[in-house]
């Protein structure tokens, strides 16, 4: 069982590939640059992206959109996490939270699946946690060095990719997708 | 001479109406909620929005997209200025710039015009300036209390709407549009 994954982010693809493999699905990366909708809803962004990619490739495909939502910052950076990471980075998030007691946050991942001519389907995964006082760890990418998942003391970047992929927002969204996809493909 | 302006922001519309009136164009507001493209290019966002509104209204229309680009923050908040304002606000921008000597920034406005079935045309206006040390002034909206235009000591919010509209990014973009529109409509 195979699925195309449209993403320009190789680190993200490696995570997705490893997670899907656990569920018996083989992932192949395709580097399609799809226009991202400016929306507060990650579901809408993923659905729009999946539909665009399915039409332009002429094949079923998944895309993944994820975001970090910090409670004390009213959900910022949320759906614009990628842009915010590229401009103000982890340092910016930490600065915005200086002196803030409420450091709770959640990571959300949405996987969007679409077939050419079809309607997109989305699968959402979430992991709650908190923002560290300073960046820690070397693995993963993006906000991993500042995000501590619930029940742990280490950041995603300290836990390492393998450990992260057992509990991450992305793993949870992909698990939902995989269960659905196996039923769907078997029809 | 008349033009429809698609925006949900009444303060923005009042500015646009006053500026267009100076150029002999009457503006009428229409409250269309258009999907915004997630893009680093304000031109692309405005073009996409104008085309969407022209198609859904069946009439020629303009939309305006603007952003604050702070040099020391690699252009943040840029194309996501509206979302960033709603989440971390002026306080967030000031916090990110604490202790930063380079406070230079620019405001960009892009007006997108489109007719049903036509290609969108865009007009860009820019004003350079710097970020104030604290919010000052009551007029205007958004980042106006923290933006000091080049050659002045007061923020846009202290200068007031009338003074702001003589020199703002939005006035410059609309002036370009107005000149073009009058030639275009006369053809």
Q: Is B65 annotated in the active site?
A: yes
- Which residues fall within 8 angstroms of residue B76, CB to CB, at 6 or more apart? A83, A84, A87, A88, A92, B69, B70, B84, B96
The beta strands (E) that lie in chain B are given as 2-6, 26-30, 36-38, 61-70, 77-78, 104-114, 121-131, 147-149
**For the complex shown, is ipTM > 0.85?**
no
Q: Which residues, 6 or more positions from A174, have their beta carbon under 8 angstroms from its beta carbon?
A: A16, A19, A20, A23, A64, A109, A111, A123, A125
| Nearest beta carbon to residue B80 from set A73, A75, A83 | A83
pTM: 0.80
State the smallest CA–CA distance between residue A39 and chain B in angstroms: 7
Contact in structure between A66 and A11 (CB atoms under 8 Å): no
Q: pLDDT tens across B22-39, in order?
A: 999 999 999 987 877 778
d(CA A119, CA B116) in angstroms, rounded, equals 26
B77-78 and A147-149 beta bridge pairing: unpaired
Residue A140 structure tokens: 């993963």
pLDDT of residue A40: 77
Q: Where are the domains of chain A?
A: 2-186
- A93 pLDDT higher than 90: yes
Tell me, what DSSP letter sits at residue B119? -
B69 vs A contacts (CB less than 8 Å): none
How many residues does this entry show for chain A? Answer: 187
The answer to whether residue A72 neighbours chain B at the CB level (below 8 Å) is no
Fold observed for domain A2-186: Maf protein (3.90.950)
List, for residues B160-181, the tens digit of each pLDDT value.
Answer: 999 999 999 999 999 999 999 9
Q: Where are the beta strands (DSSP E) in A2-42?
A: 2-6, 26-30, 36-38
Assign A120 to helix, strand or coil.
coil
B147-149 and A61-70 beta bridge pairing: unpaired
pLDDT tens digits for range A139-153: 989 999 999 999 999
Whether residue A36 has pLDDT greater than 90? no
Report the chain B residue with the minimal C-alpha distance to residue A98: B95
């Amino acid at each position: 069982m195979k699925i195309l994954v449209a993403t320009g982010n190789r680190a993200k693809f490696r995570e997705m590939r490893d997670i899907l493999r656990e569920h018996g699905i083989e992932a192949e990366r395709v580097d399609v640059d799809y226009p991202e909708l400016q929306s507060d809803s990650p579901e809408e962004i993923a659905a729009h992206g999946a539909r665009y990619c399915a039409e332009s490739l002429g094949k079923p495909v998944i895309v993944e959109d994820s975001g970090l939502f910090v409670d004390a910052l009213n959900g910022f950076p949320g759906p614009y996490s990628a842009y915010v990471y590229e401009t103000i980075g982890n340092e910016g998030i930490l600065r915005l939270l200086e002196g803030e007691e409420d450091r709770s946050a959640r990571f959300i991942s949405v996987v969007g699946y679409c077939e050419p001519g079809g309607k997109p389907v989305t699968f959402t995964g979430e992991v709650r946690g908190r923002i560290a006082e300073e960046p820690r760890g070397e693995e993963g990418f993006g906000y991993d060095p500042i995000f501590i998942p619930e029940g742990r003391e280490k950041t995603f970047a300290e836990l390492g990719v393998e450990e992260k992929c057992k509990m991450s927002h992305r793993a949870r969204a992909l698990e939902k997708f995989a269960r659905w996809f196996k039923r769907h493909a078997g029809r």
